[in-house]
Amino acid sequence: MIISRREARELCFKIVFEYDFYPNPELDAQLDLFLEQQPLLTEEDRAEIKTKAQDIFSKMEELDKEISEKTEGWAVQRMSRVDLSIIRLALYEIHFDDDVPVRVGINEAVELAKAYGGDESPKFVNGVLGRLVKGIDE
């Protein structure tokens, strides 16, 4: 990959954010369009990011179920779309990406929340992820 992991994660966050705004049949087309508009990406970068995004999409129901079960009073429908997208991405990376240690996943999520969320987003994202990963081996 030519771009950094952080840059790839940020692009993936933006793609995950779009998930709730497009019906399933349009997701792949929107994903391709988004990636085509990123001039610094190589074809390898595009392929890796697309594969990761599609895998996240395929696990979205599972991720949302876990988020809902472990966050009393904060159903996914009530969360800000930015915060939810960050949490979904981080939870996916923690569970399914062996190259991302738990602490790194949480830290990167908090950094995304600082950049894209509201004033309370970093604290909220950190708290939710803390609940979600409680008991997961580092």
At 1 the pLDDT is 58
* Alpha-carbon span 22 to 18, nearest angstrom: 7
- Angle between the 43-58 and 60-70 helix axes, to the nearest 10 degrees? 60
At 136 the pLDDT is 67
Q: Does the pLDDT at position 64 exceed 80?
A: yes
Query: Which amino acid, 28?
Result: D
Instruction: Please tell me the pTM assigned to this model.
Output: 0.92
Architecture of domain 5-133: Orthogonal Bundle (1.10)
- Average pLDDT on 67-80 reads 84
- Average pLDDT on 67-75 reads 82
At 48 the pLDDT is 94
User: Where does residue 101 rank: exposed (0-12), middle (13-18), buried (19+ CB within 10 A)?
Assistant: middle
Q: Does the pLDDT at position 27 exceed 90?
A: no
Q: For the chain, what are the domain ranges? A: 5-133
